[in-house]
């Protein structure tokens, strides 16, 4: 395995000493799974990380992973088998795999050229040309989706919306008609190792998902086609310890991103993902004027680890080759997605980075990305 001087992702987790009080509570209760006291406390406390004025009316349940949160939500909709779900091709495979595991069919589409997300405008254009039963937009790299606009889309079209907001915890608002799944994977800013959240303003949606996560049990019998997707007490212990650390983690990431963004924005041959004021991305992706592979190779030679997030797009991966594409122009062409696949480079972004390291990374990107334009 290649050793890099500057790592791409380094999770920021509680120390053993920070976890110890929570582990002792598990020892005392001898309750390890099945909606134990730490899971209940974590579910009650984590609502506080949602944007201001949202927490009071929200309902949520924990799950074993972000993928299971998506799949439980999809199954809870009780859509007929084979129902068509519009989803961006530019996303992580888990999004489409959850659709398939729920017995539904993905229809792959384009993303917006500025924020790299499936937008309501794109979804409306596609819905005007083909039948859709659900739209599943993705909060790309943690970029929060416009909750109000998606709520209006659902009302105006009658097509429900389920958001894959995997990395957007702390920034994604939840509108009245919106349900969102979040990931608590180790690589996420609010990581606990493995885990997920399903959040909605409709308590019935959360109740169904919770039932499905516990084998579909109700009154001691399996009433629905459920699974085992519950969060363990040990994962909840990490989650509770992380909540105590969350303000510090957020501040460190905000300061790092401010420094990074100013340096990267000064490079003419680099384009950043658009996002709302105050947002901090989960990972840093840049589009360059040079092929991503060339930039990545050059950075690797300087000891900098990179990754091309969401590349290749799902439409170029064997598991999804048989499913249709539907671009907003009525063709199967997805030019923005294809451009991202060629030009996107994921740069190191974690709380262990120093200002000196980010400066070095940006200097290297400037040299590599500027070759084509003669900088």
Q: What is the per-residue pLDDT across 302-326, written as a single tens digit (0 to 9) for each? A: 999 999 999 999 999 999 999 999 9
Tell me: pLDDT of 268 over 50: yes
pLDDT over threshold 80, residue 1: no
User: Tokens standing for 314?
Assistant: 């799902």
Q: Are 190 and 164 within 8 A, CB to CB? A: no
Band of pLDDT at residue 89, cut at 50, 70 and 90? very high
The answer to whether the beta carbons of residues 48 and 242 sit under 8 Å apart is no
Q: What integer is the mean pLDDT of 202-230?
A: 93
Cα separation, 352 vs 340, whole angstroms: 27
Top-confidence residue, 56 or 88: 88
Residue 291 DSSP one-character state:
-
Instruction: State the average pLDDT over residues 4-32.
Output: 97
What pLDDT is stored for residue 56 in this prediction? Answer: 56
Contact 165, 139 (CB under 8 A): yes
Which tokens in the block code for residue 201? 């303003």
Band of pLDDT at residue 51, cut at 50, 70 and 90: confident
The secondary element (H helix, E strand) that includes residue 206 is helix 203-212
- Alpha carbon distance 280, 261 (integer Å): 10
User: Above 60 in pLDDT, residue 242?
Assistant: yes
pLDDT at 147: 95
Q: How far apart are CA 222 and CA 232, in angstroms?
A: 21
Structure pTM?
0.95
């Amino acid at each position: 395995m290649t050793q890099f001087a500057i790592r791409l992702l380094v999770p920021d987790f509680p120390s053993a000493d920070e976890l110890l009080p929570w582990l002792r509570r598990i020892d005392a209760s001898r309750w390890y799974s099945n909606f134990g006291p730490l899971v209940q406390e974590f579910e009650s406390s984590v609502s506080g990380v949602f944007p201001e004025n949202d927490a009071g009316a929200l309902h949520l349940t924990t799950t074993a992973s972000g993928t299971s949160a998506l799949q439980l939500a999809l199954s809870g909709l009780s859509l007929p088998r084979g129902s068509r779900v519009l989803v961006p091709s530019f996303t992580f495979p888990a999004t489409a795999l959850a659709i398939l595991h729920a017995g539904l069919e993905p229809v792959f589409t384009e993303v917006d050229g500025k924020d790299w997300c499936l937008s309501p405008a794109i979804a409306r254009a596609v819905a005007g040309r083909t039948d859709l039963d659900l739209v599943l937009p993705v909060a790309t790299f943690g970029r929060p989706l416009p909750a109000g606009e998606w709520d209006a889309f659902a009302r105006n079209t009658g097509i429900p919306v389920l958001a894959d907001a995997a990395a957007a915890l702390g920034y994604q608002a939840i509108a009245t008609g919106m349900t969102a799944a979040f990931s608590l994977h180790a690589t996420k800013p609010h990581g606990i190792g493995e885990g997920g959240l399903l959040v909605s303003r409709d308590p019935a949606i959360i109740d169904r998902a919770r039932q499905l996560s516990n084998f579909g049990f109700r009154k001691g019998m399996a009433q629905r086609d459920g699974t085992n997707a519950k969060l363990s007490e040990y994962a909840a212990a990490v989650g509770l310890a992380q909540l105590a650390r969350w303000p510090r983690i957020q501040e460190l990431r905000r300061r790092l991103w401010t420094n990074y963004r100013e340096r990267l924005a000064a490079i003419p041959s680099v384009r950043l993902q658009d996002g709302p004021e105050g947002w901090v991305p989960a990972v840093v992706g840049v589009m360059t004027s040079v092929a991503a592979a060339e930039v990545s190779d050059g950075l690797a030679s300087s000891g900098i680890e990179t990754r091309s997030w969401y590349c290749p797009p799902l439409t170029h991966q064997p598991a999804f080759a048989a499913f249709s594409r539907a671009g907003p122009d009525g063709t199967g062409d997805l030019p923005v997605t294809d451009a991202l696949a060629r030009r996107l480079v994921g740069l190191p972004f974690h709380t262990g980075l120093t200002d000196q390291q980010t400066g070095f990374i940006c200097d290297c990107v400037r040299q590599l990305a500027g070759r084509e334009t003669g900088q």
